[in-house]
Each structure stands twice: as structure tokens, then as C-alpha cells.
Amino acid sequence: YTGDCYSGCSTCDGSGYEDCITCSDGSVPVDDDGDGDGYCDGWCVKVKMYDTYGDGWNDAKYTVVNSNGAVSAVGTLSTGSSWSNELCEITKGCYNMSVSDGDYPTEISWVVTQGGEALGEGGAGKTVVCVEGIPTSTPTITVSPTITPGPTHYESEDFKALSAFYHATGGGSKWQSADGWLTDAPTCEWEYIECAGAGDTITALGEGINHLSGSIPTQIGGLKSLISVHLGANFFPMATLPSEIGMLTNMTGPLFLFGNTMMGSLPSEIGMLTNMAESLYLNRNSFTGSLPSELGILTNMKYKLYLGENGFGGTIPTELGCLTEMTSELSLQSNALSSSVPTQLARLTNMSSVYLNMNSLCSDMPAEVQVLPFYNSWHFSANSIGTACPTPPPTSPPSPSPTMAPTTPSPTMVPTILSCLPGMFRNLSSYACEACESGRVSNDELSTSCDECPIGQFPNSDSSECRACGAGMETNLDGTGCDSCALGHYSDGVRIKTCLPCTVGKFSGNITSASCDSCEPPQWTLSDEGSTMCDACKHGYYDAAGKAMDDGGGPECEPCPTEGVNCDDSGITIENLPILKTYWRYAQTTDQVFACDHPPACRGSNTTAANGSNFGDGLCAKKYEGVICGLCQEGHYRSAVSGDCVSCSITEDGSNPHLGPIFVMLAIVVGIMLWALSYRAWFEEMYEARKNQILVACNHGTMMFVTYQIIVNMASSFKFQGSYGYPSPFKEIMDSLSGIFTIDIVGVLHVDCLGRTDFLDKLLASTMVPIGLFLLEATYHLGRITFVGGKFLNGTAFGNFIILLYFIIPTSCVVIFSSFSCIDFDIDNDLIDDDDVVSYLRADLSIQCEDHSDYSSHKMTRKYLFIFIYAVFMVVIIPIGVPAMLFTLLWLKRNEIQERETRRGGPELKYLSFLFRLYGREHWHYSTIDLYRRIILSSVVLSLPTIETVFILVFGLSVYCVLMYREVGPYWDASSDVLSYVCGWQVVVCAVALLLTEFSKRGANQGGASTSGSSTDDAEREASELSIGIILILTNASMVGTMLYLQGSGQAGAEG
């Protein structure tokens, strides 16, 4: 090593050379390194080569070419998974580093370092690498050109550490993106860097970063201000965790290093991270050796210390009992820990979950641990807890004391020790080379035993080294190879010990899947994990395909109806669609849901229901049946007050207890009539004395009765369209009086208990009764004229007939117009056609309107066809004919009526007086106008299609009549004008209340596909409805009070 010394002779001085053998200044040379090569080791360039499969580069080689095109170095990785070549005569400059493809280019990677810093890295291909080379001769001292200094951050410790991190983890080619890295931009603006505080202090590294490879460099310890690190799920094969990680003393967590395939032992310096408080993730690596006892120094840890799924052996450090601040998630599972559980762990009194399962722990669980408050949350399955630990082998006895007697051992023939091939070991008993056992490897030619592969790895073909399973694979049970992941599972090549099940919302339909595919919303998975396909719909949707899934089809997700169903859960199908209480649907294969006219009748299914209990009669409460649960079961009648189905209570002897009250009521009516006849003279005397007051009272009573008849029938019209009627408590009052004002004999007397009746019976009764009475009346008068003489249209009997007609005609019209409204129900979109429905009469849901025996055409059933034709005929006879007849009678006597001196006129007008006695002389025809008003407001509205049109007609006609009556003043006396005005506005108020209640109920059911809602909103809505009901009671009370005031104030007889 002769030559000129660059400067001095005792140390490496920066020239790239060690001291020379002969120094020009006469000093003694020193070989600093002791390697005799004359170069300082720090100036050599190292080429580190890696092969992921572990069989060398397979004919691939690297070539280093300088700027003049001359080859400076050539090399290769002949076998194994890694090797380094050292190039010590590379001069300063930039070189082309090219690597040929060989047989398997994807397995190749390399890193070029100098002085511990990475200069470049890559795989098969070409990359430019610039090095600080060594001068080949004594350098010539020249004046260096002036160099403008770059940004100061290039010289900072943070920049140097991050630069090393960038090169060591594949930043040049492996990262998906690296915005700002190694540029002039401030480090805090680099991607994956987070800063805080003054001076742009780096506090977090790696958030969102992935696809790293290589290793974590030792320079990571230079980032001393780091608080959190996110470097999980990357690929650091053959890499170890640098001990410099302990220099990050400001670290509070999280520190994510899981799933990186790192090897070696866990450095004890991890205990220097004394500020760690949560989320130390070191699981899913290949760490081996014992757990460092220094983990017990991390006394600030609160939760999530994950050390599981590695290859740690030995015993559990007793120092872990010092982590008394931890409350949950100490994970040591899936390692090779042995011996007993240390008693010191009983100090973890706040720990709610400890995972010790899948180790080799033995002996009994310490009694001190078993009494911990959260001991039931400790997991220690797949161990030998409760089984005695194996006895360790005996130690060799001590050597005997030496003696002074000379020993002359007999000569022995020691066999020559030959080298063993890879995958074999030397048996010390026979000195023969034997193959490694299954799951073990040996790569040392003088090895006397084989090593077990770390968890998640298996021996290669010649058992010379351990290899990791690739993506979509996992090690088999005996550790000798890899098996494909099962359907619904995946392995990404990092978490390689066990194939993981796909999580909810994801699936894998193939074996050897590297990842799970996400379901495309609104599709979802029925199982929480391990799904092989998207076989369900997310919450808020249902599967319209339903049982079609049995044929292998995917879900057809449709939005759930906005009202009447509960779609809070996923996995709902058309068959198990949960129906809420007070709602009903016709079939199991339809999503058409109806609000029940009588809410208590529909019990709902609420949760995913079994077949038959979430449609049809399965949704009806006890005592109810039929479409929309609108019919009472046999032996029950509909209460005219509550609307509930009430048992007829048929006795054991077959008698009906309801017959008695009916006959009692008839007897009372007959008794009152007989009593009145016996006191006829007294009644006639009183009537003559107070005739005017009595007539006015009767007129006012008639006006009140007619008004309440309209109010009750309006509510029935709204309910007929699916509305809710009046709010409580006004609703209950009107329901209790409805049978009286609507003259509903069937409902009041519970005729249903005498035998099952339907709408056709009611239609015939309500229309034939007035016609029959007319025929009886006509027959009576014809007989009287024939045998006694007189006129046909005269007499008390005919006048009573007109009074009866005036009151019962609106009730008959209600029944007639109810004949024209049918309600459609969706049957089954799949079994028939897309537009097929079944129709039922809204007034009687036991009567089917259309015959669906032939789905190609919809025709009326024979029964409904009769009802329809008969009702059309009756419209002409009763709603149109009767008022027209009454008007004709009045028109024929108009002159006499206009010239009358009293309300009732002369004897010749007695039979018509009921029709005109309320009105003034010029307004003799207003009774027929009022009759048409009553028919329209209570009957015609039943044929309108929607609630909105019903309200418009009711509100518009009511307001018009109020204003007209107010301006015209048609009544005989002023008190009747006043009362009419009050009654008219009461009808308007009730119409508005019906609409407000409908809107309130609709708001309550908005978003009905979810059972969740605001209890505050519900309370406010109920309070609002209660207020409306109380206001209605007060306004009606004021109307009754007005009538009583007018009756007693002396104004009743004043002519208007």
C-alpha cells in the first residue's frame, strides 16, 4: 500500500484511503480497519440483492456502467434469498445500474447503499445511481467552483431521516404516490407527513401510505418529535425492527407496524417509549424470540397492546403485570408462548379483555387471576390450561474433581465430520446426515439440528429455508406447504398465517383470492363474514327477487315503501318484509302496504316474519279478518261507538243475549207511543198554548240534527278515503252518536249477531225502506180515497212520510254512493303480470269487485255487477228523484205558501208544512236546496278519488252555503238565520279539522320504513291533535249554547 499519504497517517481522513504503508512524512502507517485492504469501509459501495422466492436470481445479473460507457462491476445472487457485494474502487460519479430479467424478473429487488445510506433501489430494469466514489490515486488539490447552497431543509435531521426512509422503503418505484418528497417543498407539505406546533414540528408519519417494501431504516430514530406512526400492512421481508425505534420518546400512539412480515426479535429499546398511551400494533408479523421484559416499563398504556400472531416463544414476562393503567385489549394470541400464566397478571384489575389463546400455555390459571372482575373476558382457548407443564430435562452432573493420577485414555476413532447438504442435519449419535423433519429447515452444512419455520412460513422444496405463502394462500395444518383460501376468504400476502373471512358488505367468489370485492350498493351480504356473493340488500331496501335467490340469482334491491314497513335491518326480502302495526298487505309477494281503517285491527309483524304471518289474515288482530282486517270474525259485531269487533257471546244453549236488548228497546218505544196517546188531550192543550215556541224549538232541533248528520257523515267520507277522521277526544264523542244521526239500525241493534249480513243486504234495506214506505203510504191513500173520499196528497200520514224521507234520504244516499268505490290490491308481480290487481268494495271488503279467473281481462263479479247496476238505478230514484219530487210538491203549492200568514200556513198546506215552515214566504224552495247540500256533503263525496278532492268540495260548498245563507236570510225568524250561520261555520271548522288531522297523521308516518323516530316530535304531534279535538268540542258546545240562548231570549218568535 505504498503511496503518498493524503493527510496524516493515523486515521481515515476523508480521502477515501486508510493510511499508507509508507508515509512521505515518515510517520508510522496504521491499518484502521484491520482488514489489510487500505480502504476505509465507509467509502465502499454495497449492492444488496434480494429474491422473494429464495432460489437466487435465476441467470439474472446486475451491470454497473460509468458515464464513459465502461463496465465498472458485474454480479448476481446465485442462490438463496439475499446477498451483498461490496464495491470499494468505484469513483465518484453517476452510474447506470441495470439488472437483466433472468427467468423470474418479478422476484428480483436490490438496494445500493454507501455509508449506511440508500442511494437507489429497484428491480429488473435500469436505474441511475450517483455515488461518492474513492479517488484511484492521490487527488489533485483544485479550487472547487462556488456552489450556491440549496434550501436549508436539505441539511436538517428531519430531511436526512425522511430521505433514508424514502429510499429504504421503495419510494423510488414502489410507492403509489410521493407528492413533495425530496423536493424543495417544506417537509410538512410532503404527502403522508403531518406537523403541528411552532417550527413545523413533524408529529405523524405514514397516514394513508401503503405498498412499502424493503425495511424501516435506522434513521427513523432521528424523527424524535413523532407522536404517531402509521406503517401497517406493508411488505418488509427479512427485515427487522431497528432498535432506534426506542429514540421516539415523544410517541403517544398509535404506532401501527402490524402485518409487515418483519422478522427477528423485538428490540428491548421498545421500553423507552414511556409516553405510549394507546394502540401499539406489532401483531401479524414474524417476530421470534422472547417478549422483552422492558414492555413492563410502558406504564402509561391504556389499551390496545397487540403482540399476537407472531412467533414469540418462552414465557410471558412477569413485568406485564406493571401495566396497571390498561383497561382493554392486551393481545398475545397465536404465538408460541409456553409455561404457566404468571401470577403478576392479577395486578391488571382494570383489564376487560386479554387474549392468550392459541399458545402453548399450561398449568392452572392462577387463582388471583380468576377472581378478577373481568376474568370472563379473558380468552385462553387452544392452550393446555389445566394440564401440568412438562418437566424440564435433568441437568448434567458436575465434573469430578481432578486427580493427580495421570490418565491415559484409550485412543478412539473419531470419524471425519463431513458437510451436510441443505435441508439436512448431523445426527450426533450416528454422525450421519439426516433429512429435516416436516416443517423444519437447515441451511448450515455443520448444523446438528433443524429450525422450525416461523408461524405463517413453510420449508422450500429442499428444506433449506422458509418461504412465505403468496396472496390467496395460507399454510396448511402440518406446516409443510400452502393451501388455497376457501370461498369467502382471502389473503393479501401479508397476513399470511390464516386466510381471513370477508367482512360484511364484501365477498369472494373464488379460491386464492388476494382481496374481497365490495358489494355495489344497495346490494349487501346476508352474513357478517365469509360471504361468497352479494346475496342481500342494505337497510332501507328489500330484495324483490325473493325466492328467486334459490335459483342462484342475485338480489334485486328496491327501495322500501316510505310508510308501513320496518327496513332498519339489512337482508330483508319481499317475503319477509316486516309490516308495522296498524298496516296491512294483501300478499307475501307485494310491497303495497295499506293503513288500516281501524288501527287496533292490524297487529303488524314488526320483525322479519315467518311465512303466513306478515300478510293477509296473518296481520289481523284477534277477532278481525279479511282485507285490511276490515271484517269481524264470525260471532262478533262492529261496535258503533268504538269501531271494535265485539263478541256476540252466544250462549251454550244457542240463544243470543243481544235479542233481549233489541226487544226491550222496541217495547220502550211502543210504551212511549201508548203513553202519549193516553195523554193526547194534555199534549194538545200544551201545544196550543206554546205553539210558536215549540215550532221554533222543533225547527232549531231539525237544524241541529241536520248539521250533526253532515258532521258525522263528513268524517265517514274522509275515513272512506283512508283518512283518520276527527282527532280525539271529539272523535269518540261523534262515534258514540253516529248511529243516531246516520240512522244506522244495523249497527245500533247489532243485527250482525242475528246472522252474517253484507253490503248488498244493507243496500237493499236502505233503498227499499223509503220506497216501501212510499208504496204503503200510496196504498193507504188510494184506499182512503176509494172508500172515504178526499185528496191523494193530503193528510197527516203523508206529512209524516215526508218528514221521514227528509231525515233518512241522506243515509240511503250514503249507502248508494258507497257502491261505486273499490280499492285495488297488488297480487304478485311475478306470478301474474306487472299490472294485475284484485279489487274489493271499499264499503264491504268481503265483496270482490272484479273477477280475476281470467287475468287477460278484468270484469266485474256477478254480485258486484248487480250492486253496481242497482246503485246506478237508485241514484236516479233517490238522490235525484226524491228531492225533485219534493220540489215539485212545493212548486205546485208555491202561491199558497207565499201568501200564508203563519209558519205552517192553512190546513191545505199541513202535509207540506215541514218542508217550508223553517223558511220565509219567498224562500219556500230552500228545503230542497238544503237537502241537496246534505246529500252532496255526506254522499256524493264518497265517489271522489282522493281526500284532497273531497276536502275541496266539502270546504268550498260549505263556505258558499254559509255566505249565501248569511246574505239571503231565508229563514222565517231571525233566530233561525243566526243559528244557521253558526251551524254553517261549524261544518267548515270540522272540514278543516279533518284535513289538519290527516296532514298530522301523514307526517307521523313519513319515513315509515324505519321504526326509529323522534319521541319529541310524536309528543308534539299528539298534543297538536288533542288541541284540535278540544277546540272542536268547544265550538260545538258554543253552537248548542247559541241554540239554547236563542230559545230562551225571546228572539225565537221574531220574524226574519
Tell me which residue of 485, 453, 478, 477 sits closest to 467, measured CA to CA. 453
What whole-number distance in Å separates Cα of residue 171 and Cα of residue 326? 37
Each residue of 178-203: pLDDT tens digit?
A: 888 888 788 888 888 999 876 678 99
140 pLDDT tier (thresholds 50, 70, 90)? very low
Residue 682, pLDDT > 90, answer: no
- pLDDT averaged over every residue in the chain: 78
Each residue of 253-274: pLDDT tens digit?
A: 899 998 888 999 999 999 999 9
| Higher local confidence (pLDDT), 334 or 472 | 334
Residue 332, pLDDT > 90, answer: yes
19 pLDDT tier (thresholds 50, 70, 90)? very low
Q: Count Cβ atoms within 10 A of the Cβ of residue 275 and give its class: 0-12 exposed, 13-18 middle, 19 or more buried.
A: middle
Judged by average pLDDT, the poorest of 230-234, 528-532, 856-860 is 856-860
Mean pLDDT in residue range 480-491: 83
- Structure confidence at residue 352 (pLDDT): 87
- Structure confidence at residue 568 (pLDDT): 87
Mean pLDDT in residue range 319-324: 90
| 143: its cell numbers | 479550487
Q: Do β-strands 506-507 and 517-518 pair in parallel, antiparallel, or remain unpaired?
A: antiparallel
**Cα radius of gyration (the chain):** 50
Q: Which residues pair with 483 in a beta bridge?
A: 474
Q: Of 475-489, 514-528, 606-620, 712-726, give the range with the top mean pLDDT.
A: 514-528
| Higher local confidence (pLDDT), 874 or 88 | 874
- Structure confidence at residue 226 (pLDDT): 92
Tell me which residue of 260, 251, 259 sits closest to 279, measured CA to CA. 251
Give residue for cell 484511503. Answer: 17
Give residue for cell 388471583. Answer: 368
- Structure confidence at residue 1036 (pLDDT): 85
The torsion angles phi and psi of 240, rounded to 5 degrees, stand at -115, 160
Question: Does an H or E element contain 457, and which?
Answer: strand 457-459
Judged by average pLDDT, the poorest of 55-69, 500-514, 571-585, 634-648 is 634-648
What whole-number distance in Å separates Cα of residue 391 and Cα of residue 39? 55
Q: Of 159-173, 193-207, 368-382, give the range with the top mean pLDDT.
A: 368-382
Residue 48, pLDDT > 80, answer: yes
Residue 62, pLDDT > 80, answer: yes
- Structure confidence at residue 1029 (pLDDT): 84
Each residue of 296-313: pLDDT tens digit?
A: 999 999 999 999 999 999
Mean pLDDT in residue range 312-325: 92
Mean pLDDT in residue range 682-701: 70
Provide the residue count of the chain. Answer: 1056
Helix ranges (H only) for 336-489 are 367-370
| Higher local confidence (pLDDT), 872 or 103 | 872
Residue 228, pLDDT > 90, answer: yes
Q: Judge contact between 33 and 18, C-beta under 8 A.
A: yes
Mean pLDDT in residue range 968-993: 86
- Structure confidence at residue 11 (pLDDT): 43
| Higher local confidence (pLDDT), 583 or 698 | 583
Each residue of 600-613: pLDDT tens digit?
A: 889 888 544 444 57
Mean pLDDT in residue range 788-805: 70
- Structure confidence at residue 337 (pLDDT): 94
- Structure confidence at residue 276 (pLDDT): 93
334 pLDDT tier (thresholds 50, 70, 90)? very high
For Cα atoms 393, 399, 403, give the angle at the middle one, nearest 5 degrees: 165
What Cα–Cα distance (Å) separates residue 94 from each residue in 72, 270, 658, 776? 12, 39, 112, 125
| 413: its cell numbers | 476413532
Q: Of 590-594, 650-654, 750-754, 1044-1048, give the range with the top mean pLDDT.
A: 590-594
481 pLDDT tier (thresholds 50, 70, 90)? confident
The torsion angles phi and psi of 624, rounded to 5 degrees, stand at -115, 155
Mean pLDDT in residue range 115-141: 63
Residue 373, pLDDT > 50, answer: yes
Mean pLDDT in residue range 135-153: 39
What Cα–Cα distance (Å) separates residue 473 from each residue in 459, 461, 515? 15, 17, 11
Helix ranges (H only) for 691-758 are 691-720, 730-741, 745-748
Residue 457, pLDDT > 80, answer: no
What whole-number distance in Å separates Cα of residue 726 and Cα of residue 199? 71
In angstroms, how far is CA 470 from the centroid of its own chain?
Answer: 36
Residue 504, pLDDT > 70, answer: yes
Judged by average pLDDT, the poorest of 453-467, 538-552, 839-853 is 538-552
Tell me which residue of 77, 125, 73 sits closest to 101, measured CA to CA. 125
Judged by average pLDDT, the poorest of 2-11, 350-359, 902-911 is 2-11
872 pLDDT tier (thresholds 50, 70, 90)? very high
Give the whole-number percent of the chain exceeding pLDDT 70. 78
Each residue of 813-850: pLDDT tens digit?
A: 888 888 888 888 877 654 334 456 788 888 888 888 88
